[in-house]
Amino acid sequence: MERDAMIVAGIGLRAAATAEALDAALTATGQAPDTLACLEAKATPALRDMARARALPLTLLTEAEIAGIETPTRSARILARFATGSVAEAAALAALRKTGHEARIIAPRVTSPCGRVTVALAQGRPI
C-alpha cells in the first residue's frame, strides 16, 4: 500500500459505543488512519474523545453525503435506513471524495467485539 496516500477510517457506531469499543475496532483494521469520518448525528463524546486522544481530525458527514454510495459489504438494515450498504465504508469513501480524492476501500468494515462499532478504511489520492 502506498503510504503517501491518505487513509480515512470511516466509523459507524451506536450511541452506547464506548471509547474501548471504538479503539478495539480501529485497532482491528491493522492500520493507522490519517483521519476519521462518521455521520454528524453519530459523533458521540466517546468518538470525539478518541479522535482527540489519537490526534486525528474528524470529518463529519450528513446522511445525504453517504446515501447511494456503493460499498463492498451490505447490511439490509443499513441499506433501508441510510441508502448505503455500510455506514463505515460509505463514510470513509465520502470523506475522501469530499476533499477531491479518488477513493477505494482497502479494509472492509470490521466490527468491535461488543457489536456497537464498525470501522472501514478507504485510501485516496488527489484527483
Bridge-based pairing of strands 35-39 and 6-13 is parallel
How do residues 35-61 score in pLDDT, each as one tens digit? 999 999 999 999 999 999 999 999 999
Mean pLDDT of 13-25: 94
User: What domains are there in the chain, each with its CATH number?
Assistant: 6-126 (3.30.420.180)
Asked if 124 contacts 96 with a C-beta cutoff of 8 angstroms, the reply is: yes
Q: Looking at residue 4, what is its pLDDT? A: 67
User: What predicted TM-score, i.e. pTM, was given to this entire model?
Assistant: 0.94
How do residues 58-83 score in pLDDT, each as one tens digit? 999 999 999 999 999 999 999 999 99
SS3 35: strand
Rounded to whole angstroms, how far apart are CA atoms 48 and 79?
A: 26
How do residues 86-116 score in pLDDT, each as one tens digit? 999 999 999 999 999 999 999 999 999 999 9
Confidence of residue 127 (pLDDT cuts 50, 70, 90): confident
Average pLDDT of the chain to the nearest whole number: 94
DSSP per-residue letters across 59-111: EEE-HHHHTT---SS--HHHHHHHSSS-HHHHHHHHHHHHTTEEEEEEEEEEE
